[in-house]
Amino acid sequence: MLPEPAGCAKPAVGRGLGGWSLLIALALSFSASATPLPATGTVEVLFTPWDDAEGAIVRALGEAKKSIHVQAYLLTSRSIARALQDAQARGVAVEILADREMLEKSDKSLLPMLAGGGIPVWIETRYAAAHNKVLLVDVGQADAFVITGSYNFSWSAQARNAENLLILRGNPALVRRYLENWQRHRGEAEKMSGAQ
């Protein structure tokens, strides 16, 4: 029998190698589904506080013609919130997923204002942290793109933090993968109370 790794508790599923085999098989089955995607398109990379990531997001949201799907850990940036409202006013379908804990903790969250203005907002309650920071623009269109990175949609992310932001264009397979993940999270989320 192999010794237990230092600092690891015995798995709750079975004893000896059988339990470890099950855990290893589960881990491999999860990692096996992460199929590499082809590297296509362009990548714009920004680093705060030096680069204007917030301005890049606002400009990118201004390009939206059909849809914007948001996954936000925190949304307190007035400029980004205004860009989402402007997109909605142009007829763009805007939908937001957000982290419950950050909504409850932050008195500066702009999610209630956006929901009150008719933008559908769903709250993720299943996870300790719904830590995604993703914007999907014009999913299903030829010019769809993904914005992601460590950058929270906040003033601090631009002015006080060291963050990164990627704008990934010209990769439909990547957009589809992000949309599938967004939809899976949306299926588990709860409609924000007070939202229209």
Give me the active site residues, please. 131, 133, 138
CA distance linking residue 85 with residue 62, whole number of Å: 10
Measured distance between the N- and C-terminal CA atoms of the chain, rounded to whole angstroms: 60
**Distance of CA 194 to CAs 82, 97, 102, 115, Å?**
20, 15, 17, 7
What 3-state DSSP class applies to 188?
helix
Sign of CA dihedral 123, 82, 171, 132: negative
- What phi, psi does 48 have (nearest 5°)? -95, 155
Q: Which residue has the tokens 């007070």?
A: 194
